[in-house]
Structure 1
Amino acid sequence: MNVSAPLRTMSAAQAVEHFDVLIVGAGISGIGSAYHLTKQLPGTSFVVLEEQESFGGTWLTHKYPGIRSDSDLHTFGYRFKPWVGPPIATADEIRAYMSEVIDENDLARHIRYRHRINSAKWSSETNRWTVEAVDQASGEARIFTANFLWMCQGYYRHSEGYTPEWQGMADYKGRIIHPQRWPEDLDLSGKKVVVIGSGATAATLIPAIADKCEHVTMLQRSPTYFRTGRNAIELAEQLRQLQVKEEWIHEIVRRKILFDQDLFTRLSFTEPEKIKQELLNGIRAALGPGSDDIVEKHFTPKYRPWRQRIAFVPDADLFEAVKSGKASVVTDEIDRFTKDGILLKSGETLEADIIVTATGFNLNVLGDIAFEIDGKPLDFSDTVTYRGMMFTGIPNMAWVFGYFRASWTLRTDLVADFVCRLLAHMKEKGAKKVVPALRPQEGNMPLHSWIDPENFNPGYMMRNMHLLPKRGDKPEWQHSQDYWAEKDEIPAIDLDDPAFVYE
């Protein structure tokens, strides 16, 4: 546990604070959920606890050069607040947008920053959660109770990224850096840089530093799919020329993008070769004539499109860096680190003054918080998910887990609608407790991993799948990745279905 001052236990004079709802996290999910709570259930008391020093979550944690969204902001932005900038936005632009949401809706007074939650305990005697946190500014313990817990903390550990252990790392004389902890004092001028990885982080970082260092090499074990295009939405530009209201533009453009994304995703399953060639042709066009061999070797994955996330490369900046010679791509496996760089299994050596490990996240399960239900430690892998939002046997708790194939925030809005409707329904019934439960006929339902690896299998999920809840073989006991279906299914959930047990 990291605190900035010695931990001081709570004195008897310090009161326990009680709220109707406690929201964990002030990132894109937590701020959106707080907004919906104030609008849909006015008068509900709530607090938002955030471990970092400010709001933003991902967009505060990551400070590496070029940090930007890889989802368009017309859909990554909230449905209730129009986005008026370029569709692919920087972290600063996204935080400025979130700041406006906080200011316009008086949310700041509800947020407690630098509050690290250590434990959350449910009592069936009181039908309340007791949340123990540390105010890291003062080092004092804080205790909160809440009727309902709304988990909006994301899915990866903000304190550290994932870096594999390679032989010889201790012998390397240069700097090894994970993008999640980018040092402010790093001088890239005249340096040879190797970026290990081929996902959205590498694709963002490489063009951002290509002009600042002597040369940058993307070292990948296997290729990734990318999409290219202008960092602009033609439809939005046309509507603005017609002086259409931004609220209308926001809704029209969102619907168009979502329709196109849904069609693209479905075709990636039904006509994967067609989608594959469409993606590769975009890269060939960006690299120019004579690039067939490069595309075949370095940008043609072995898996079908959308089995892993497809990163968008605005204005083809990654490929422009490669085309210019400022960046290069090597597809090979690491044998070991040497004092001067990396020895590959092919026998080639990559010299490097700086090695950046853009190798992914460390998944955490609901904030690495120690959960208990009536004194018994909770293991989430023993539960079954209800539509990726609630869990069997866990009372009065919801989790926001977004989409992989669409913008995360789309699900933030949908889950918020569901939670607010559920809370209103409980109040109407006079219920103090709700627990998802398998129905009698589902006692022998086959259970599987949270995500079907045949459907979606990025490394950061596969490494830690054993920690996550199980899924069943029916739609309500699965975490769907289909926004186009869920936008109709989630609002239609019958809250009196036997899957919800009220007390």
Structure 2
Amino acid sequence: MTEQASHFDVLIVGAGISGIGMAAHMTAKSPHASYAILERRDNLGGTWDLFRYPGIRSDSDMHTLGFDFEPWKHEKSIADAPAILDYLDRIVDERGIRQHIRLGHKVIAADFDSATARWTVQIETAQGEHKRLTANFLYLGSGYYDYDEPYDPGFDLGAFEGQVIHPQFWPDDLDYAGKQVVVIGSGATAVTITPSMAGKAAKVTMLQRTPTWMFSRPAKDRLANLLRKFLPEETAYRLTRWKNIKMQDIGFKRARTKPEKVKQFLYKKIEKALGDKFDRATFTPPYDPWDQRLCLVPDDDLFNAIKSGKAEIVTGQIKAFEKGGVRLADDRFLPADIVVTATGLKLAVAGKIAVSVDGESVDFAERFYYKGVMFSNLPNLAVVFGYLNASWTLRADLNSDYICRVLNAMKAKGADIAVPVLAEDHALVEDDIFDFSSGYIQRAKQIMPKNAVAYPWRLNQEYVVDRKRMASDPIEDGVLALRRADADAAHREERLEAAE
């Protein structure tokens, strides 16, 4: 592929886990199809290259956050960002994917022309140039959050004279040695940053408005490392991956059916780690386990930092930011030289790309998901939105494999359009797209696509079920229509003539 090439069978947006996964699946399963990956940033990796805060790591095990086609070979299954980037770099080099990646290419808009069955994609380069590329199919692997703008809780920080840092825009030269740090938040980012900064900082206080459920586990998977000693790498990986998938599924369902038992299990592990420093109220959220994602504490790192006195968790409401720290509503004062606002992400749909069909803007909030990968009456477009109760890559692999089979079926049939057809009088019963109470999820519901109670018009949160369905259901299932653009044009003319 050269930089001069301007038309592709598939344009993949995003060179993170989703985009690289799709390229790898295409290389193996749809080698006839040309493709390019458009990445707005100057490096691949997506989330794992963007976030640079101390301790940045996975909050899922790498045997499921890794791809189904590439074994995870590191000793630690809870991996830091550099190890994950090494994994992705190896994949793009070994499979010849790097030459297909165009860095510094931000997709602004994409319009599908029904007459030619082509997407025209408008791009702005890092140098400020504007380009147009065309493609038959558009695959959005651009993630789920706004890269430009994190969630702003509206803090009035005017009186605070120290540094204010958001994890999404972490400065390379931040010196926090010997400093008092307040990390605001109780999600995965805060739980990661707090123990990581505690080694150098004078003290790190994690300030939470409400607690979160935490789960500790070793960063190394002993069974995985044992299997690798006696079995071929791929066999050991497959066994560990399936074991972890089943454990995730069982754990999630147990939390939903027997939340009190799961609470006691979580309390017991935290108390064992903290000893006499365990305060149940600090670790008791106002919701059941898995109503929001559990926060992983690998190797008890947060609890060890608390036991050492280098970190603490404080629960309270912020009254004001003052010159030297944070004043709480109950008048407690938390001294701070640095405030880290780990207050969450802002979700975005379709990478904020202005998507249209024949010049008419597409409102994703008016479209139903189809099998968690495409959308009602939207041709030749697929997207990845990973599981909330399991690893992101599990869905990315499913969607990539499925779209490869769609591409192959289109080629075999001579079709250039693939569209999930939903009648206007469909009478589908809508379901809550995300049965999770997390703030970032609730704030974004109004922009998210629709979810139906009945499959296939939904985004499921059950990987084991999805895996079986996606593999066994035929591509032409009575919903997904494969057809030619000229047939579509003739059909439109017939309808116009009938209307006249």
Q: Would you say same fold, with TM above 0.5?
A: yes
Query: 1:221, CA displacement in angstroms?
Result: 0.7
The answer on 1:253 being equivalent to 2:240 is yes
Match of residue 3 from structure 1: none
> CA separation in 1, counterparts of 2:288 and 2:29?
41
Match of residue 78 from structure 2: 88
Which residue of the other structure, out of 16, 20, 27, is the alignment partner of 1:31? 20
> CA separation in 1, counterparts of 2:481 and 2:28?
27
Which residue of the other structure, out of 112, 116, 138, is the alignment partner of 1:122? 112
> CA separation in 2, counterparts of 1:62 and 1:111?
21
Match of residue 498 from structure 2: none
The answer on 1:207 being equivalent to 2:191 is no
Which one-letter code corresponds to 1:443 in the other structure? H
The answer on 1:221 being equivalent to 2:209 is yes
> CA separation in 1, counterparts of 2:269 and 2:432?
35
The answer on 1:380 being equivalent to 2:364 is yes
User: What is the DSSP-based 3-state SS (H/G/I as helix, E as strand, rest coil) of the residue aligned with 1:145?
Assistant: strand
Q: Is the 8 A contact 2:277 2:307 kept in 1?
A: no
Query: 1:469, CA displacement in angstroms?
Result: 0.7
> CA separation in 2, counterparts of 1:399 and 1:474?
20
Match of residue 445 from structure 1: 428
Q: Is the 8 A contact 2:282 2:313 kept in 1?
A: yes
Which residue of the other structure, out of 170, 177, 180, is the alignment partner of 1:189? 177
Query: 1:339, CA displacement in angstroms?
Result: 2.2
Query: 1:43, CA displacement in angstroms?
Result: 2.4
Query: 1:313, CA displacement in angstroms?
Result: 1.0
Match of residue 450 from structure 2: 470
> CA separation in 2, counterparts of 1:383 and 1:29?
22
> CA separation in 1, counterparts of 2:165 and 2:432?
32
Deviations 1:406-450 (A, max 9, x none): 11111111111110111111122222112212258x622223443
Which residue of the other structure, out of 85, 90, 94, is the alignment partner of 1:104? 94
User: What is the DSSP-based 3-state SS (H/G/I as helix, E as strand, rest coil) of the residue aligned with 2:146?
Assistant: strand
The answer on 1:432 being equivalent to 2:401 is no
Which one-letter code corresponds to 1:38 in the other structure? T
Which one-letter code corresponds to 2:95 in the other structure? N
Q: Is the 8 A contact 2:429 2:454 kept in 1?
A: no
Match of residue 45 from structure 2: 56
Q: Percent identity?
A: 44
Query: 1:58, CA displacement in angstroms?
Result: 0.3
Q: Is the 8 A contact 2:137 2:381 kept in 1?
A: yes
Deviations 1:3-56 (A, max 9, x none): xxxxxxxxxxx9771100000000011101100001101121100000010110
The answer on 1:174 being equivalent to 2:157 is no
Q: Is the 8 A contact 1:217 1:327 kept in 2?
A: yes
Which residue of the other structure, out of 449, 468, 481, is the alignment partner of 1:488? 468
> CA separation in 2, counterparts of 1:150 and 1:297?
45
Out of 428-437 and 481-490, give the one that drifted further. Answer: 428-437
Which residue of the other structure, out of 464, 477, 482, is the alignment partner of 1:502? 482
Which residue of the other structure, out of 326, 330, 348, is the alignment partner of 2:332? 348
Match of residue 283 from structure 1: 270
Match of residue 318 from structure 2: 334
Match of residue 303 from structure 2: 319
Query: 1:352, CA displacement in angstroms?
Result: 0.9
Which one-letter code corresponds to 2:223 in the other structure? L
Which one-letter code corresponds to 2:93 in the other structure? D
Q: Is the 8 A contact 1:227 1:312 kept in 2?
A: yes
Query: 1:148, CA displacement in angstroms?
Result: 0.3
Runs of 4+ aligned structure 1 residues displaced above 6 Å come to none
Which residue of the other structure, out of 365, 375, 392, is the alignment partner of 2:376? 392
Q: Number of aligned pairs?
A: 480
Match of residue 134 from structure 1: 124
Q: Is the 8 A contact 1:449 1:466 kept in 2?
A: no
Q: Is the 8 A contact 2:159 2:322 kept in 1?
A: yes
Query: 1:458, CA displacement in angstroms?
Result: 1.3
Q: Pairwise mapping of residues 406-421 of structure 1 onto structure 2 (< 5 A)?
A: 406-421=390-405
> CA separation in 1, counterparts of 2:95 and 2:423?
40
User: What is the DSSP-based 3-state SS (H/G/I as helix, E as strand, rest coil) of the residue aligned with 1:361?
Assistant: coil
Query: 1:220, CA displacement in angstroms?
Result: 0.3
Which one-letter code corresponds to 2:364 in the other structure? F
> CA separation in 2, counterparts of 1:502 and 1:103?
34
> CA separation in 2, counterparts of 1:393 and 1:64?
41
Which one-letter code corresponds to 2:113 in the other structure? S
The answer on 1:300 being equivalent to 2:287 is no
Query: 1:174, CA displacement in angstroms?
Result: 1.1
Which one-letter code corresponds to 1:73 in the other structure? M
Deviations 1:294-316 (A, max 9, x none): 1x121111211111111221110
User: What is the DSSP-based 3-state SS (H/G/I as helix, E as strand, rest coil) of the residue aligned with 1:346?
Assistant: coil
Deviations 1:61-85 (A, max 9, x none): 0000110001001111111111121
Structure 1: stretches of 5+ with no match in the other structure: 1-13
Out of 213-222 and 422-431, give the one that drifted further. Answer: 422-431
> CA separation in 2, counterparts of 1:370 and 1:436?
20
Query: 1:109, CA displacement in angstroms?
Result: 0.8
Q: Is the 8 A contact 1:68 1:89 kept in 2?
A: yes
> CA separation in 1, counterparts of 2:160 and 2:364?
39
Which one-letter code corresponds to 1:103 in the other structure? D
User: What is the DSSP-based 3-state SS (H/G/I as helix, E as strand, rest coil) of the residue aligned with 1:343?
Assistant: strand
Q: Is the 8 A contact 1:76 1:409 kept in 2?
A: yes
Deviations 1:323-379 (A, max 9, x none): 111001111111222222222111212121110001111111111111111111111
User: What is the DSSP-based 3-state SS (H/G/I as helix, E as strand, rest coil) of the residue aligned with 2:346?
Assistant: strand
> CA separation in 1, counterparts of 2:103 and 2:379?
26
Which one-letter code corresponds to 1:66 in the other structure? G
